[in-house]
Chains A and B, each alone.
Chain A
Amino acid sequence: MELLIASIMTMMTAATPLVFAATGELVSEKSGVLNLGVEGMMLIGAVFGFAAVTLTGTPLAGLLVGSLSGLLAALIFAVLTLTLLSNQVATGLALTIFGTGLSALVGLDYVGETIVQIRAVHLPVLSDLPIVGRLLFGHDPLVYLAIVILGLSGWFLKHTRWGMILRAVGDSDGSAHAIGYPVIAIRYAAVAFGGAMAGLGGAYLSLVYTPLWAENMTAGRGWIALALVVFASWRPSRVLLGAILFGGITILQLNAQAAGFGIPGAFMSMLPYIATIVVLVLISRDPIRIRLNAPACLGRPFRAER
């Protein structure tokens, strides 16, 4: 039981950076923009967030700067793809390459620095309840923030007027424009939100997960976040489930090793990637289901005809 609770707690922290990044990407994709630069934006958020904490000493500043820097990186992408109509796939890849290089360069001064870590909250009474106490009230504050942001994004997309407009822009940019909605402006906003969230996810890694900066420390989590959006078939409610599953498989395979199951480690390490492919196939093979949720204009440039 103790092991189970402990493992779930570990899975939740492993899932949190994925939830941040995937929520942002989901909103961006819902507006019709595919940004493959998540990994790059996460790295930028991680390094600038870390730098901010080293300079100011306040974790909050790190989170703000982390998400802001992710947002700025996303704006580069937005200018190129939305204003200059460049190819979204290529531009996203460029953003990842750029972010990897930039973060490594900026981070040179911060390798080996230490910072004050953001610790788990401890609520009197509540956190001390048996079992549920730790499971529900024992995480670090950002775990809750991630879930709240995910919930709010889901509510925004489904129940607010601007959420519906955003989806309309992603599903049919031409008609949205004809009705008079500002297609490009909405996409700018969605991409910027995606960048801020990826930056926050990166900052979570460098400030909370492992309070240090190391080159390329996201190690592919940005790509997992992208896979997660597809895995969730663009539904916010499934992002959380998927993130826990993805974070969970990593933790589970380490757990299985520590418990001494004799499966070769290399094969165990392949599991999360193979699982992504399997899930992708499962949700993609039904074209009707994927069409129901996938934004129809995903990845297509839009230019208003005069």
Chain B
Amino acid sequence: MLVLEARATQSATAAWLSPLLAMVLTALTGAVIFLAMGKTPGIALYIYFVEPLTSWSGLSEVAVKAGPLILIGIGLSLGFRAGVWNIGAEGQFIAGALLGSAPAVYFYDSVNPLILPAMLAMGVLGGMGWAAIPAFLKTRFNANEILVSLMLVYVAELLLVHLVQGPWRNPQGWGFPGTRMFPDVALLPMLFPGYRVHLGTLIAMAVPLLAWFVLTKSRFGFQVQVFGSAPLAARHAGINNHRMVWTTLLISGGLAGLAGVMEAASTIGQLMPKISPGYGFTAIIVAFLGRLHPVGVALAGTAIAVTYIGGEGAQISAGLPKAVTGLFQGIILFYLLAFDLLTRYRLVRIRRGERAA
């Protein structure tokens, strides 16, 4: 029979192999689902996973969609490594967009180019501030950060709704919810005419490199690693639990806030009652799919973005319902989590009656 045996160290091979295996199995499962729905699996899978990468506009859209996912995913993966479960990045995204957009809303006719850096900085602060609430309640009152950060998502959403149809509503907008359009100086510059890739996309691509550097080269990175793999040992080694909660929540909140303000100041160009199609939640999948590793998160964010763009293409050219995309994301994560086992344990064949060492 086969039994599990713990590995002394995590297997590097299994670590990169398991996401690949998960994706292949998801594709196979997808093929079965498409067959059951009466679609040709080959065509459907092609539309989902390949077609978005076959045109410049498709690539541009994948990059635009992947940007916020990667940015948030990087922040979350730091926290998840340290066992800090911030699942309210969606709220921090909105809070960042809110505070970061304030300059553009109040100085709507500004021509001062400094407004953009100010907005980005305030976006980071907004996300940090929103994440500071669960950090404070966790460290001071021991309140579960999963639940607090999640509840704050709903609060942030409602706050946004209140602002865009109350105090921040466009006075020329016939009473419809939504702010004025941001002035040109408050918008992130586009990189290529005709495509939506913007400066924020580039920033989002740079962050994984930065995170990789921090994780491998800095003392803080080392602490995070230790904290995640052996919390007890870390505590004995004097790594401060409270400080770890604060730092990881502030970093993940700040990155989510940055993603939020960059989204408002690029593809949307204003604030509306709804500004996120669930980036904060999808980024949780991205973090795990990327095995909490910066490079992995960047790849995973791109892969998930492909399925979104592909999902839209599938609706248009194959009449596939949108729900399939969500199902795919759940299945891919299931497979990944199942294979995760192999990075920490190995399968050993033993004979009946014989004992594993």
Contacts and interface: CB of A to CB of B under 8 A. Distances in A.
Interface of A: 36, 40, 76, 80, 84-87, 89-91, 93-95, 97-102, 104-105, 107-108, 215, 220, 223, 226-227, 230, 264, 266-267, 269-270, 273-274, 276-277, 280-281, 284-285, 287, 290, 303, 306
Contact of B143 (A40, A93, A281): A281
A273 B85 CA distance: 18
B328 A94 contact: no
Contact of A98 (B150, B334, B340): B334
A272 B207 CA distance: 36
User: Interface size bucket, B side?
Assistant: 35 or more
Contact of B329 (A76, A101, A266): A101
B143 A284 contact: yes
Contacts of A290: 142
Contacts of A274: 151, 155
B141 A281 contact: yes
Contacts of A227: 147, 151
B285 interface: yes
B61 to A, nearest CB: 21
B324 interface: yes
B338 A80 contact: yes
A227 B150 CA distance: 10
A304 to B, nearest CB: 10
Given A86-B341, A104-B323, A93 B162 contact: no
B62 interface: no
Contact of B345 (A85, A87, A89): A85
B273 to A, nearest CB: 10
Nearest to B151: A273
A108 B321 contact: yes
Given A277-B137, A280-B147, A104 B328 contact: no
Contacts of A86: 337-338, 340-341
B308 to A, nearest CB: 13
Contacts of A102: 323, 327, 330
B87 interface: yes
A266 B159 contact: yes
B34 to A, nearest CB: 12
B87 to A, nearest CB: 7
Nearest to B141: A285
Interface string B146-157: 111011101100
Nearest to B350: A306
A284 B141 contact: yes
A276 B147 contact: yes
B316 to A, nearest CB: 17
B337 A94 contact: yes
Contact of B333 (A97, A105, A215): A97
Given A94-B334, A101-B329, A284-B142, A89 B85 contact: yes
A104 B326 contact: yes
A101 B330 contact: yes
Interface of B: 3-4, 80, 85, 87, 137, 140-144, 146-148, 150-152, 154-155, 158-159, 161-162, 166, 281, 284-285, 288, 321-331, 333-334, 337-338, 340-341, 344-345, 355-356
Nearest to B147: A227
Contact of A287 (B142, B288, B327, B331): B142
A270 B155 contact: yes
Contacts of B322: 104
B290 to A, nearest CB: 12
Contacts of B285: 93-94, 97
A76 B150 CA distance: 24
A83 B155 CA distance: 37
Contacts of B137: 277, 280-281, 284
Contacts of A230: 144, 147
Contacts of A80: 334, 337-338
Contacts of A87: 337, 340
Given A80-B334, A284-B137, 16 more contacts: A84-B337, A84-B340, A91-B337, A94-B330, A97-B333, A98-B334, A99-B330, A101-B325, A101-B328, A227-B151, A266-B159, A266-B166, A273-B151, A277-B148, A285-B141, A306-B3
Nearest to A290: B142
A97 B321 CA distance: 16
A287 B142 CA distance: 8
Nearest to A99: B330
A93 B345 CA distance: 23
A278 to B, nearest CB: 10
A101 B147 contact: no
